[in-house]
C-alpha cells in the first residue's frame, strides 16, 4: 500500500522568502503525485500534479514541485512567498490499482511572517 | 458552476446519537469520495463511489459508519452511536472521470462534527 510522509508539521517563513515543503512517498511503482492547499475555512484546492514525463511540474499560484524517484520525494517550492500563501498543504499519492483512491500526508501548516 | 456542497457546515451532537452528513457533488461527476480530517491529522479515506458500481468501503473505521449514494448523485454519510473520537471534519470530494488522474478531485468545505 502507498503512504505519504510530510516531515514538517509547521513551517514559518518571512514574506518574500523562498519556500520548500517536503514530501516523501512509499509506493512500489511509479506513483501519481499531487499537492493540495487548504486555506482557512475553505476546501482543498489542487495546486499541481505529476503523472509522468518532465519531473518538474508547474502549478497554480507560482508553485512548482519536483519528482525525484531516487529520493522518493515530491517537494513543493515557491521562490517568493506571499502572506496569502499561509495555509495547510497536503501531499497525496495515488495509484491506478488502488481504486482511484488518494492517500494523503499529514499536512504542513505554513505561517508567513510580515 | 457550483462546487461540491456539504451540509451542515457544523454539527454538534451528544455522544450516542446518530448523525447524517450530506454531500451534493458537482453535476455530472461520477466519482464521489468521503474523507475524514481529524485535528492535526491528514486526510483519512473513508469510502469511494463510482457510478453504479459497488462502493469501496475499505476505509470505514467501524460498522457504525455507513454511506449511500442515491441516484448516482447526492451522498449521505451516517454515523451511528457517535463517540467522541468521531469528532473531525468530514470532507466530500467528487471527480468527473472514471480515471482519477484525468480529472482532479474537487473538495467541499466539509462538515465539522463535534461529539460532546
Q: Concatenated DSSP letters for B39-101?
A: TT--EEEEEEEETTSPPB-TT--STTEEEEEGGGS-EEEEE-S--GGG-EEEEEEEESSSSGG
Statement: residue A96 has pLDDT above 70: no
Please give the DSSP secondary-structure letter assigned to residue A71: G
- CB contact (8 A) between residue B50 and residue A49: no
Per-residue pLDDT tens digits of chain B, which is 116 residues long: 579 999 999 999 999 999 999 999 999 898 899 999 987 778 999 999 988 888 889 899 999 999 999 887 999 999 999 999 999 999 999 988 766 666 788 999 999 999 99
**Phi, psi for residue B99 in degrees, rounded to 5:** -105, 115
- CB contact (8 A) between residue A41 and residue B109: yes
Separation in Å, CA of B42 to nearest CA in chain A: 4
A62: left (phi over 0), alpha (psi -120 to 50) or beta: left
pLDDT tens by residue, A27-67: 877 788 999 999 987 889 999 999 888 899 999 999 999 99
Please give the DSSP secondary-structure letter assigned to residue A65: E
CA distances from B9 to A18, A89, B12, B111 (A): 35, 21, 10, 4
A107: left (phi over 0), alpha (psi -120 to 50) or beta: left
Residue A107 with chain B: CB contacts under 8 Å: 41-42
Which cell numbers hold the place of B73? 448523485
Residue B38 with chain A: CB contacts under 8 Å: none
Q: What is the pLDDT of residue B50?
A: 86
Q: What is the pLDDT of residue A97?
A: 61
Q: In whole angstroms, give the CA distance from residue B105 to residue B50.
A: 13
Q: What is the pLDDT of residue A102?
A: 85
Q: What is the mean pLDDT of residues A89-109?
A: 83
Residue A94 with chain B: CB contacts under 8 Å: 100-101
Q: For chains A and B, count residue pairs whose Cβ atoms are closer than 8 Å.
A: 65
- CB contact (8 A) between residue A102 and residue B45: yes
Q: In whole angstroms, give the CA distance from residue B71 to residue B30.
A: 11
Amino acid at each position: 500500500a502507498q503512504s505519504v510522509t510530510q516531515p514538517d508539521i509547521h513551517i514559518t517563513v518571512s514574506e518574500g522568502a523562498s519556500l520548500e515543503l517536503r514530501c516523501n512517498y512509499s509506493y512500489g511503482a511509479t506513483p501519481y503525485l499531487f499537492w493540495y492547499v487548504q486555506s482557512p475555512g475553505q476546501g482543498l484546492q489542487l495546486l499541481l500534479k505529476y503523472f509522468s514525463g518532465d519531473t518538474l511540474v508547474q502549478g497554480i499560484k507560482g508553485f512548482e514541485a519536483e519528482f525525484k524517484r531516487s529520493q522518493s520525494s515530491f517537494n513543493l517550492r515557491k521562490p517568493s512567498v506571499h502572506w496569502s500563501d499561509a495555509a495547510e498543504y497536503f501531499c497525496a499519492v495515488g495509484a491506478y490499482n488502488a481504486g482511484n483512491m488518494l492517500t494523503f500526508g499529514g499536512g504542513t501548516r505554513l505561517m508567513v511572517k510580515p | 458552476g457550483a462546487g461540491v456542497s456539504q451540509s451542515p457546515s457544523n454539527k454538534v451532537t451528544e455522544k450516542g446519537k446518530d448523525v447524517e452528513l450530506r454531500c451534493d457533488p458537482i453535476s455530472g461527476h461520477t466519482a464521489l469520495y468521503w474523507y475524514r480530517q481529524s485535528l492535526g491529522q491528514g486526510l483519512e479515506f473513508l469510502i469511494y463511489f463510482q457510478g453504479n458500481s459497488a462502493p469501496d468501503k475499505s476505509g470505514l473505521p467501524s460498522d457504525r459508519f455507513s454511506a449511500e449514494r442515491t441516484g448516482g448523485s447526492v451522498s449521505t454519510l451516517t454515523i451511528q452511536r457517535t463517540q467522541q473520537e468521531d469528532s473531525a471534519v468530514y470532507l466530500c470530494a467528487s471527480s468527473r472521470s472514471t480515471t482519477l488522474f484525468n480529472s482532479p478531485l474537487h473538495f467541499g468545505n466539509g462538515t465539522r462534527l463535534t461529539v460532546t
